[in-house]
Amino acid sequence: MTTPDELAIALAAEAPCPSEDFARRLDARVAADFPRKRAMPKLPPLAVFGGATAAVVAVIVAVTLVGNDGTSVKSSGASTASSAEAAPQPASSAEPAPQAATGDSAARALSTPSAGAKAAPVQKSFARQTPRHVERSASLTLAATRGKLESVANQVVAVVDQHRGYVLHSSVTSGAGGGASFDLRVPVGQLQSTIADLSKLADVRSRSQNLNDVTSSYNATQDRLATQRALRQSLLKQLAAATSQSQADAIRQRLRLVTADIRSLSAQFDSLRQRTNYASVEVSLVPKRAEPVATEGGLGGDFHDALHSLADSFGIALRVLGVAIPLGIVAGLGWVGWSVLQRRRREAALF
């Protein structure tokens, strides 16, 4: 059995041996009675409170500037002044003061930008809620050869059907003075593509487009119609609550007038809505006149001119012969008749 002395000797033999430098520094600290490390200097409570107040004011100013683009500088200045006045007080009694000043300035800062932030969106939404109502119209004149007038007229109707429009009125005339006219209605969004497709059917002689803003009439009619409908609902409620026959008759008379006004306003509003949703397109189809062919210069042009002159001379000769031949026949018959008459006279004188 190991005795305590033997155990102590074994532990002492196995204990690590410190270095000479460590042993020297340890002896120096023991000789100095283990001096304590120098503590950090403590800040006074007033400096801590001032720093915290400055941080709170900086946060309020930053929030105010971000929310209202610098419109609450006055409120942040007020909070700074209140915090400066509260600074000389003790830390324990001054702690609630910055919170109160901070709350007031924050409330003022939040109330001021909220009013400004709501004003701009209301203005934008008002602009979006009042769209412009424009009446659009166009006119187009096409020229085609007489043999293709009917074909082009059928193609006009096909183009209108393709663009989800309809023909309000059409007139097609055949013969020497033939032509066609169309009164079309197409959706406003399809106006330009319809005109482009119609222009491909024949030669374009003229083309025009017109715009007419009817926003004021559109909105006024819509408001009057809504007012009259609301009045009609009110009169119906009054009629249901009428207590005498004379009162009910008076309400019915007003109802008849209001109902007639509603019918008239509804017709006007439907017409305005139709004119702004569908564009009017007038198409005129006229026969194409033959244009003279330009002659080439040089020898080829001279040869062409000679042939043209020969053809003209031949035509003139035919016209002259057409007149001279009948006259020659009549003159020959007259001469034969005169000769026969003279011979019979001579024979009669001999006998």
pLDDT in tens for each of the 351 residues of the chain?
Answer: 567 776 777 766 666 777 788 878 878 877 877 776 665 555 556 556 666 777 777 777 676 665 554 444 344 444 444 444 444 444 343 344 444 334 444 444 434 444 444 444 444 444 455 788 888 999 999 988 878 888 888 899 999 999 999 998 888 887 666 788 999 999 999 999 999 999 998 889 899 999 888 888 889 999 999 999 999 999 999 988 888 999 999 999 999 999 999 999 999 999 888 888 999 999 998 888 754 444 445 566 677 777 777 888 888 878 777 777 888 888 888 888 888 888 888 777 776
pLDDT of residue 104: 45
* pLDDT score of 39: 53
Please identify, among 240, 272, 288, the residue that sits at the C-terminal boundary of a domain. 288
In this predicted structure, what is the pLDDT of residue 261?
Answer: 93
- 150 and 272 housed in the same domain: yes
Residues 184 and 103 in one domain: no
Cβ of 170: how many Cβ atoms within 10 Å? 15
The answer as to whether 197 is a domain residue is: yes
**Of 201, 209, 208, residue with least CA distance to 285:** 201
Judge if 66 and 121 occupy the same domain. yes
Asked if 256 and 154 sit in the same domain, the reply is: yes
The Cα–Cα gap between 299 and 305 comes to 10
pLDDT of residue 148: 84
Distance of CA 162 to the CA centre of its chain: 23
Q: Are the C-beta atoms of 136 and 209 separated by less than 8 Å?
A: yes
Instruction: List helix spans (H) across 36-95.
Output: 45-68, 73-86, 91-94
Strand, coil or helix: what is 69?
coil
The pLDDT of residue 113? 44
Which residues, 6+ apart, have CB-to-CB distance to 276 below 8 Å? Answer: 133, 134, 135, 188, 214, 218
Residues paired with residue 27 on neighbouring β-strands, in sequence order: none
d(CA 20, CA 200): 109
Q: How far is CA 260 from the centre of its chain?
A: 37
Cα angle 96, 101, 76; round to 5: 150
Q: What's the number of domains the chain is made of?
A: 2
Residue 200 domain boundaries:
134-288
| pLDDT for position 256 | 92
In a domain, 315, yes or no: no
Of 185, 189, 209, 149, which is closest to residue 274 (Cα–Cα)?
A: 185
Question: Is residue 65 within 8 Å of 75, Cβ to Cβ?
Answer: no
Pair (203, 99) in one structural domain: no
Q: Are residues 146 and 83 in the same domain?
A: no
- Residue 105 maps to a domain: yes
Q: What is the pLDDT of residue 30?
A: 79
Same domain, 174 and 264: yes
pLDDT value of position 81: 40
- Asked if residue 265 lies in contact with residue 218, where contact means CB atoms within 8 angstroms, the answer is no
Q: Which of 107, 129, 151 is the last residue of a domain?
A: 129
DSSP conformational letter for 175: S
Name the domain boundary from 129, 159, 176. Answer: 129
Tell me how far apart the alpha carbons of residues 108 and 114 are, in angstroms, rounded to a whole number.
10
- 205: which DSSP letter? E
